[in-house]
Amino acid sequence: MKKKQILIVEDERIEADNVKASLQRIGYDVCGIAVSGEDAFKKAEEMHPDLVLMDLVLQGETESVLAALKICSIFNIPIIYFEANENSKKLERARRTEPFCYILRPFEDRDVHSTIEVALNQHKIKNNLEETEKRYQSVVKNAHDAIYMMTPERFQYVNPAFEKLTGYKKNELCSEKFNFWNIIHPDDVKKIEKNTKNMGKNGIRNKEFRIVSKNKEVKIVKANTVNIGINKEVVEVGILKDITRQKNTELELKESLEKLQRTFEMTINALVTAVETRDPYTAGHQKRVSDLACAIANEMGLSKDKIEGVRLAGIIHDIGKIQIPYEILTKPTHLSKIESVMIKMHPQVGYDILKEIEFPNPVAQIILQHHEKIDGSGYPAGLSGDEILIEARIIAVADIIEAMSSHRPYRPALGIDAALNEVIKFKGIFYDPAVVDACLKLFHEKNYMLS
């Protein structure tokens, strides 16, 4: 490891040589010897030693204390004085300089070594603290978010970003006539006062409120604060993040999504109308199936997303019938085999119509499967059990309940009791047992009625 370089400042040659010998014995290099304050300054500038060991009494125009102060302030080099009299006036004056260490003559090598190491360590700590302070000030000064320090009475510090956010200059913000409440939106004052009373030592986290800038522009900010004690005084340190653009974007996105949802619902209703126009006898059927299916899904504890999928699929589950001839849909007698085959095509046709639409749920698949049966005897794919989506199993039960309870061209309404008996009879065969149980609970215990 490289030895520390020491500059000796001593105007008596014999004493200088003795000090040099002592330093070399304890492991330091002496990079030079200066004989006056002026000489010390010159050699410090040329050699940049790690430390200056200076006699407190020097000959020349520049006394030792002034030379030391100049070397410290310009070159940032620590100084150690040595003096024979601990009570000398010069030593008393030197005590008021910063940094300050001294050794009394005559001294032992170990005393010199320990004093030098202390001085070097203190100097290193001081430099580290100053560097940390500079970095901190740079971060705060150049931060994009508004940073402030304040007492209950007024601001003590604001960074440039705070000035930009509020439109006020630092001298305005930190004046005795100005405080935090001057910038809070009037409608948010009570909310902030309540939070301030309840926040305690930990401050507030991610609290959103509005401020009013100097030019009366309303801005939305997110605040994070903490309370700290400085010189027995509670100081609030806070960061305000301008989220106005973010909030405006969120509002625009929300409005856009709501508009899209309205358009989507209008499209769905148009499809429903198109089907019911072709098949007037089933007008309202899809809506009633959708309502009952949603009630069953809710009773079974399905998630909101799945219930929404049930709702959407239920309300257009017969969309495939749009391609079936009107005469078949309204035929007052039983269908022929060919006509039955055509009717059974409607789940596939509905799937083909909807498969390219990006629904938030598997609506097209639910519609494709809503005539499948648990035992595999359904259509169009002959799926069984858990191969069938739970949403499709629910719509299958709701569909048969509504269909049997309503009038059809080829028969009068059979009634709700007949419909419920049908799902009980084929529970576990055609229909999912859990779905049937939920459906029965709705009608028997919760007095559900088809609207």
Residue 137 vs residues 130, 155, 158: alpha-carbon distances, Å: 10, 17, 12
**Domain assignment present for 425:** yes
Residues 203, 59 share a domain: no
**Domain assignment present for 256:** no
Residues 175, 158 share a domain: yes
Edge to edge, the sheet with strand 146-150 lists 155-158, 146-150, 233-242, 218-230, 207-212
**Long-range contacts at 144-149 (CB < 8 A, ≥ 24 apart):** 145/239, 145/240, 145/241, 145/242, 146/221, 146/239, 146/240, 146/241, 146/242, 147/237, 147/238, 147/239, 147/240, 148/173, 148/237, 148/238, 148/240, 149/235, 149/236, 149/237, 149/238
CA angle centred on 119, ends 32 and 28, rounded to 5°: 40
The secondary structure of the chain in percent helix, strand, coil, rounded to multiples of 5, reads: 55, 15, 30
Is 86 strand, coil or helix?
coil
Token pair of 425 as six digits: 């009879």
**Domain assignment present for 23:** yes
Residues 303, 164 share a domain: no
CA distance 347 to 363: 12
Is 147 strand, coil or helix?
strand
CATH of the domain at 392: 1.10.3210.10
54, pLDDT greater than 60: yes
Confidence class for position 95, pLDDT limits 50, 70, 90: low
**Domain assignment present for 374:** yes
**Domain assignment present for 124:** yes
- What pLDDT is recorded for position 96? 62
pLDDT tens digits along 234-256: 688 889 999 999 999 999 999 98
Residues 434, 291 share a domain: yes
294, pLDDT greater than 90: yes
Token pair of 113 as six digits: 């070594």
Burial of 369 (0-12, 13-18, 19+ CB in 10 A): buried
Residues 15, 116 share a domain: yes
| Helix 13-25 vs helix 109-142: crossing angle, to nearest 10 | 80
| Mean pLDDT of the region 143-164 | 90
CATH of the domain at 116: 3.40.50.2300
- Residue at which a domain ends, from 140, 162, 183: 140
**Domain assignment present for 262:** no
Nearest to 380 by CA among 355, 340, 344, 432: 344
pLDDT tens digits along 364-377: 999 999 999 999 99
Residues 147, 136 share a domain: no
- What pLDDT is recorded for position 322? 85
Domain count, the chain: 3
Residues 167, 69 share a domain: no
Residues 304, 228 share a domain: no
CA distance 55 to 9: 6
Who has greater pLDDT, 75 or 261? Answer: 75
pLDDT tens digits along 320-351: 888 888 788 778 788 888 888 888 999 999 99
Residue 112: domain span: 5-140
pLDDT tens digits along 167-195: 999 999 998 888 788 889 999 888 877 76
Residues 440, 385 share a domain: yes
Residues 349, 434 share a domain: yes
pLDDT tens digits along 193-232: 776 665 555 566 778 899 999 999 999 999 888 887 766 6
CA distance 181 to 216: 14
Q: What is the mean pLDDT of the chain?
A: 87
- Residue at which a domain ends, from 112, 140, 168: 140
Residues 368, 409 share a domain: yes
**Domain assignment present for 451:** no
CATH of the domain at 161: 3.30.450.20
| Mean pLDDT of the region 47-72 | 84
- What pLDDT is recorded for position 88? 64
Question: Do residues 54 and 64 make contact, with C-beta atoms less than 8 angstroms apart?
Answer: yes
Nearest to 97 by CA among 72, 122, 114: 72
Residues 307, 433 share a domain: yes
Who has greater pLDDT, 93 or 214? Answer: 214
61, pLDDT greater than 70: no
- Residue at which a domain ends, from 122, 140, 158: 140
**Domain assignment present for 258:** no
- What pLDDT is recorded for position 199? 53
pLDDT tens digits along 379-392: 999 999 999 999 99
Nearest to 289 by CA among 305, 275, 304, 303: 275
Question: pTM for the full model?
Answer: 0.53
Phi and psi angles of residue 445, each rounded to the nearest 5 degrees, phi first: -110, -25
